[in-house]
Structure formats: structure tokens, C-alpha cells
A and B are shown apart, each in its own frame.
Chain A
Amino acid sequence: MEVSNIRLKPRCDYDFPVNYQNSTPTQGGQFARRVYLSADAAYNPANPAGTAQPVPLQRVNEELNNLSINNNNNAPVAGASPFGTPVNGVPGASPRLTDSPVLRPSNGWSAPQSPIVSQRPESTQNSSSSTSNHAGEVIPLSIAPEVQCPPTFLRMTYNNIPQTKALANKSNIPFGCIMHPLARPQSQSDVIPVVSPGLCGVVRCRRCRSYINPFALFVDGGRRWRCNFCYLTNDVPTDYYSPLDATGRRTDLADRPELQRRVVDEASPPSDSLPEYMVRPPQPATYFFLIDASFYAISSGMFHMTIETIRRTLDEFPGSPRTRIGFITFNSSLHFYNLRSTLSKPQMLVVTDLSEVFLPLPDDLLVNLVDSRAIVDTLLTKLPSMFPVTQNVDSAYGMALKCAFELIKPIGGKIISFVSTLPSMGDGKLPNREDSRIVGTDKETILFNPSLDDKFYKDLAMDCSRAQISIDTFIFSSHQFLDVATLSSLSQFTGGENYFYLNFRSDTDGEKLFHDLRNNILRETGFEAVFRVRCSKAVNVESQYGNFFVRSTDLLALPNVDADKSYAFQFQLVDNNVSTKYVSIQAALLYTTTFGERRIRIMTQCLAVTNSLADIFRSSDVGAVTTLLTKIAVEKALSSKLSDARDMLVNRCVDILTVYKTDLASRKENTQLLLPEALKLLPLYILSVTKSTPFRLGTEVKPDERTYFLNLFRISSVQNIISLVYPTLYNMTNLHELATPGTEEFVTLPNQVNLNSEHLSRSGMLLLEDSQQMILWLGRDYPQQNMYEIFGIPTLEGVDLSTLQLPQLETPLSVKLHTVLNAIRSQKSVFLPLRIVREGEGREYLFTQRLVEDKMRNSTSYYDFLVLIHQRIQKSQ
């Protein structure tokens, strides 16, 4: 059998052309630098199933006989595409495009290789011919755009629009999308063209203000265009006019990316139309650092590591030469730093009286980085020695924030703060709300929400949002309650982000802090942004999920927006019966780039209306469905309680599958558990979500940690959420057999296996990766020889694994291991620290608790969960 099944590819966040096995490494432009092949494909192409799909379920099926999984054989949906993807290539599109991975939004998510995944017969692969109707297929109104909306930027939960409200409700699948406007490009097709505006500016509909897009229809010989949102016929501006060819396409189509691509960047028009896109000239990139200098910050090494990271990143700060920078350190007093470029060395100004803080020399506390480069460098070199170990355990964080706010208020920008002590002085002082009696009970919810007594942080967040300031908070906890919920409300409403380090130690966590902070500064960032989603009249946005402030009914204020933020939207039908054939959705992000250009990122999606439930099921994207449900569950956990959130997830899963069975299953008398092809991983993912860190039952997860993860889930993209709840597990036992990396371009990754303990052998080695960290698990009897090659010592008996660093050795096994680790890291935007655990050792739970298919203390195994779901479906019929 030909190796053509994408599932054999280890999960890989970079979507390479599907036919990568045949391509030479140099093909495919800059994105082919690294190509990750599955181990099988690399050294055993004859055995595509060699990834050893363990099929525990089939085994169980034989035992139980009444439970089996619906594979394609009894799939009621005729002609379902092989990857459960609705979006067929537009007929006539070039074969290259049909093969393009972007046509299959969900294929990246088949990777977990669940036991329920079975090989599909080749015959169903040819789906385009067997599709009887047009539903699910995107036919543009005017021209066939050459490329589908890249899933990197926009993923719908299903790629159809239900015709009636009844149909939308009936499927039980949430109707929405996850948008990731500044996502990092993952393939050549994700590189966004920048359209420079002509003299006429950006072409927009006169009535609904939507932007021109590939689905607009040019009529009247090209002199007018019909808006695909409100159907108003607009005049084409004279500068934009182009005659139409015989097929009705504009003759200049090739030069107009905005009419061909679903995601484009429009550079904002010149200043004559200034008021429309900006209220002031674009701001310079502005960074203000607030660094805790209290006892724990100094003693844990956080202070030194932070300063060192900033110093080493100074040369790379974006936005040069306009970048502005400033610093405040704080403990029981506030320390300002005069960085005027004409000084020979920086001046420190200490304010101890917090009752009336005034800002000394406001102009010299926030300076241009280029002008004051030398003096900033001096400051950062000297700072660590200026704060020797102190006994000062107080924190005037609130006052520091207020000063930073006043300083950058006229410009806007980013405040990056580092907090290791509960604010204890002046404004913004927080009491320790943690009450061990409520941890683990339903009342714990109040700890996930900002304190009800707090006015300071929420009001400050509002002020910051208005002044275009975003606040990122790095929180370092020493097992002490830090009220992450209240502190993070600052980030939540200003489009910022939180980082949380439990029991921070610079020797083990320093590397992660270094990479996190660098990524925070260097990633693509947009300033003073607003985000708006427009839909055809039939549909509107019901609710939004993410870190933002809703400034008016459909306008999200984002003082900062960056490559790691995604936003989820839930739609609802306005009309009871949608009369149009297509519905368009357009998201526009207006932002200032770090180099001071005003841009609009426009993402347009046009979907066919359907009245068939089968189309909805067939076109669903399990990753997006899981992500949206998770985000709804986060809100539920915050507004109600964790157990309600878990119940909601399971109930939704049961409801979806029940509808599928009652309405779509071909054989009604069938007593098997039927899973829709596109959503076959849904039960697995839902179970994984309920077992994930924030939703897990029990008291091991501290309230602060839960809050952090709930916040993280709120902003995470589909890829990250799936990876967080269902980590990738590599079987590294036969690492020495792995093909040696021949060239720089090829890295062979080990086999991926399911997340259950069947693969744990006493002489084995496994690697788990969840987009936050990697955990290397070693069996008790892992060969001494290998151990020696990897660690330089024959046994790990008696070694403190919590501080053990993986040495870089010259031995073949060590080289291979490091190659694999680096390859995995290079696919992720955040740095993945490596933890090492051993079978039977105390910290092994870090690893075993992630094996979501296993039965755990407080939760069911995947198999039991399927049985439970099956019983509930049977009952509800």
C-alpha cells in the first residue's frame, strides 16, 4: 500500500505539502528547510501501518460485541471526504491546489492516532466525484479564489451554514469559529500578501463597510461591484476600475491579491483618509518593564534572570529606531531610573512615601532605545548588584502599575510586569483570599474570578484599554497564593497574556523564562488594534472568547495583539430561514505594526447554506469543535463551577452523537456506538479536556494554577488546545534504531503512540510533548548502556531528577535525542522545557497523569468513557 495517509505523519504544526515524501528537501521554498518524516516513512515505507496502531477498542469489541465504532463502512454520509473535510477543491482548480494541505483543515488533527481510527479504503479518497450536491463546497460569488481560507488563521466548527435555526440547534455542534489573525505562517500559503492602497484607498461597501474580497461580484462591465454581505451594488472607484474578461473576471485579477486570497493585509491609505483608520499617527513600539525586587524575586533568581534576558534582547527589540523603553523596580518602595541619553550613567530615584507618589522627570523615565542604548545597557548590567539579597517582603505593585500607566499613557504600548509577591502596600493591595476549606469544592470558583472587592485592577484595566496599553504579567509563585485571578484581569481586558511559574527556580526554570520573555518581546505584535467581525445579515456574533475589551457591540478593543492570541466567536442565525445560498463572514483587524505602519488584516470566508444535517456533520472540524466547547466550558467554570463545566462538555458530546445516531445512522436498529467520520475523535478530546489541568477533579491543582490554565485556554489556538489536552507521545525506546539524520533538512521523529500505559515498558523510554513542556519518561530497567550514553552515568538511582539537566554528549544516542528534542522545539512558538521522570519515582505522576486514555484516580478510562457515552445514547433514544 502506498504511503499516502496523512495520519502516519507525526503531528506536525508546520503543514508541508502532502506529497512531502516524494519531494526533495529543497522543494517548497523557505518552508522546506525542515521536513519531518514519520519514522515509518523514513525507514520502512512498505509498512504504512507500522506506527503500530494499537487497537484496544477492536479487541474490546470482540469481547463486548455490542460496541463497535462506526468506521466509514457504515458511515451514513455518502462521499465523505477522507479526512472528514467538507471543503472539496473547486472543480477546475489546479491539481496542485487540490493536494495542498490547506484544503484539509482537519488533517493535522488526525494525528493522535486514536484506537478508533482505522484505515479507510482507498476508494473513498476520491471524494470530489462522489459528492452529489454543492453543499460544503465553497463556490465564490464572482471568481473561484485559488486558495481556501488557510486553517492557520480561521477554522470554522463546521464549514456550512445551517439554513434554519432548528437545524442549527439540532446538530448540537456549536456554530462558530476560532480566528488567529496574526498566526505565524506555517506554510507558503500562509504568507500574507500586503496590498498597498491605491489613490482611492481601501475599497469598502458604502453601507455595511465590509472590505472588498474574493467573493464580491463585479457587474456592469466592471464599473460596479455587489457586496456579498448586504448585496448593495457599489460603484467601483475610478482608480480601481478594470474591465472584465469574457468569463466575468477582472482582467487585472492576477495583480489583486485582495480579490484572490482570503487573508490579506491592506496597508492603510495615505493621510488624506487618516481619520478613518487612525485617530493619531501610528505609535512607536513602547515597552515598559515593572520588575519585582522583593525577597522572593531576588532569592529565586527571577530578578537576575529577567534583567539578563532583557539585556541580551536589547539589540533585537522591534520597532527600531522609534522603540521606547523604561523600567521601574519595586518592593516596599518604588525605584525609577533616569535614562536620559546625555547622562553618563543611569540615575536611580527611590520613592518610599507611597501616600503621594509623583512622577519625577517623566520625560527621562521612558526613553528612546536607540538614543539611550548605552545607558540602558549600563543600567541592566548594574541592576543585579544593586539588589543583593533583601529581607524586604512587601510589594507596592499597584502603585508601580499606576506610575507606569501615567508614564506611557500618552503613547500607549506594552507594560510587562514581573510579580512574585502578593501586592501588600498602597493602592492595589490584595488580601490573601485562599481558604483551604473551599479548595476542591464548588465554592472554589470565587478564587478563579477576580476578587469582588477589587476595583483597582479592573478600573486600571479599563483605563489601560482606553489608552492603548496592554499588560503582560509574569507571575512567580512560591507555593503561596498570589491571586492570579485578580492580577490577570489586567491582562484579560487589555489583550495581554499571563505567564505562571509555580515554585520558580532559576536553575531549572530560568531557561523557560528566558525564552518566554524573548518570545513575548520578539513575536509579531500589533499595537492600538481593533478587531471586528462582520457577517451576512442572516448570521451574527452571539458571543466572543479571548482577551479583549468589548468596546461596542461588535468591536473588540485590543491595545496589543500578537502571534499567540486567538479569538473565538460563536454565531447565531438571525433569520429563521436563511434565504441566500451563501453566507459570508469577514474579520478585520486594524493594527499598527511595530515599525509604525497602520494595517488592516482582512480574513474572509464564504460558506454554502445547507438544509442537510449530514452536511453539517460531514463538514465539521473536530479540532475547532473541541476548542470552542473548551472555551465555552472555561466561561462556564468561571460563572458557575468546574463540575458544571465538565458536565456541559460530556453532555454536549453525548447530544451530538445522539443526534448523529438517531438522524443519520443508516441502520436504526444498530446497537453499536456510531461516531461520525469527521468527529470520531470528539469523545477522546472531550474526555481529555475534562482531565486537563484546569478541569481535572481533585485538589492537587492549586487555585492559582487552575486560574492560569483557564486563562491560557481562553486565548489558545486550536493547535495549542489540542496539544495541551491530548499531548503527543513519542516512543523513544528504539531511539538507537532511528535513522540517523542525514542532512540538516531531514529529521526523523520517533513513532507516535496513544496516550495510555500500554506502551510503558520497564526498559522503555517515552517522550511526551504538550506545547508547554516535554517529559522524558524512563523505565525502571532502561538499559544501562543507553543510560550511560544519554546521561553519562549508568544509573539514575539516587539522582535528584527535579534538577537533572540533560547533558549534551558526543555519543550517538545523545546526539539523536538532542536532534529529536530540537526538532520538536523548533515546531513550537514557546520554549518547551524538558523534565525527566523515572518509573516508580515520586514525580512520575507528572507523566502518568497525562495518559488520558488510562483510568485515573478520579476519572474513567477512554474505553469506559465510550461505554458510558454509548449507554447514555441508548437511553436517550
Chain B
Amino acid sequence: MDYFLYLTQMCGIFIILAVGLNLINGMCGQFSLGHAGFWAIGAYTSAAFTVFVAPPLPGFIVLFIGCIIGFITAGIAGLIIGVPCLRLKGDYLAIATLGFGEIIRIVIMNMNSVGGPRGFTGIPQLSNLFWVYLWVVITIVVIANIVRGTHGRAIISIREDEIAAESMGINTFRYKTLAFCVGAGFAGVAGALFSHTTQFISPTNFTFMWSVIILLMIILGGMGSITGAVVGAIILTILPELLRFFGDTVSQWRMVIYSVILILLMMIRPTGLFGKHEFNPLKFLKLGGKS
């Protein structure tokens, strides 16, 4: 597969992951470190569907069903994990979600039907640039519309002040769970697109490190900004590829370079590139659009 095409598709997949995590971490303020786990669930369930059960339908329909399956299974996993974990706060929630993310990976590692530690091979390449970016658009529109409605305001109020939110009649647990499930669901979609892009997935694709990298994307872009999540995802997908031009040593120091960039960013612009602001193309083109 063409290298640049592949990279462009990976950018789209990470945009979906980052925009979803941003709903949980940036909008709702719930520190989740288990995003790679939901990504894995979508990747594996959709791949299993395509390889084992899909009827002979056109590829794009199979992929679409795979994405829906990814959304639902990862969303349900989000519900199962969210209900016990979302009663925890701050660091405790981060540790619990981290643990669950790893559990998902270890369970997959022990499932021989999907290749276990050897990985899942022979997934047809049903995804392409068009389908990836169609889902990017769907993800952004759905999440932006949620955020700009009353459910989204309820989600954001929890980030702002949970006690005040409760006192305004908002069922905080319900909206935390909602944000968590929707974010997890889109990670599942990203998983489906990923497995049908790379044609091979293994548990090592979904380590805790990736949860951290997706988190870095939204911190870089600005927690709470969808625009920021998109930009952060693009930068951190392309950066390691750029670093490759400088040879293997530089490439191996990737995480150190990330850390340095992050430290610099926190010193210069602690709210991330976009803060909580959005780039609104309608407003930019003076076509209106109200708050």
C-alpha cells in the first residue's frame, strides 16, 4: 500500500480516536487511560465479523456493518467498564481505566480463535481513504452536535464543577457514562477502520502506550476542543514518520521527543494549541452560526 495513502488513513483513524477521547477527557473531565482497549475491541470484533461470519455482500457494506459492530461492542464495553469506574475520581479513575484497557488486551492475547499473541491475519482490505474520512466527518458532526446541545452542556458542566452540576439538577453519573460510551464507541469504529486498513492486527497494536499517545494528542491540541483534537491527532501521527528521516536513533527516542515537546508546550501554552476554542468554518466565512 502506498505509504502516503496509508499515513493519511492513519491520520483519519487517530482523529476519530482523539475526538472520541476528547469527549471523555476534555469535555466531561473524566481522566480515562483505557482508550486503546476500546480501539482493540472494535478492531477485533469487526475483523472477526468480516473473516468468520460476513455474508457475501459488497465490501463497503461489510465494512460499514463492521464499523457499527465496532461502535456497539466498544460502546457496551465502555458501559461495563464505566459503570464501576466512573464513581471514582481523578487519578483513581485513570488507574482503573488503564487496568481495564490492559485486561482487554490480555483477554485478546488469550483468544486463539482471533490469533492470540500471534495476531489476527487475513483481514480483507475493505477500508480506503473515502470510508475513513466519511467516518471522520460522522464522528466530528455527531460529537459536535452532542456538545452543542443540552446533553453536551450537561457533560461539560461536570468538567467545570461536578458538585455545582448536581445542584443544577444534572444526573452527573448518567452523563459521565454517556460521554464514556460514546467516546468508546467511536474508538470501536476507529478499530474497525484500522483492522480493515492494515489487514493484520495483534495485541501489541493496542498497548497502554497508545492510550497515552491518544491522550497526548488531545493535550497537545487543547483539552475540550474538537479542533484541537483533530490537529493534535494529525501532528502526532505525522511527527514520528518525520522523525524517521533522521534515522533509527532519533526514531527510537520518539517518546523522549514527545515528552520534551509536551514540557515545552506546557511552559509556553499550558492550555494546548487551541485551549477550549473551536475553529468554526461558518463563523470564519462570516456565514453566521450562533452560540
A binds B: no
Residues of B with Cβ closer than 8 Å to A? none
Residues of A with Cβ closer than 8 Å to B? none
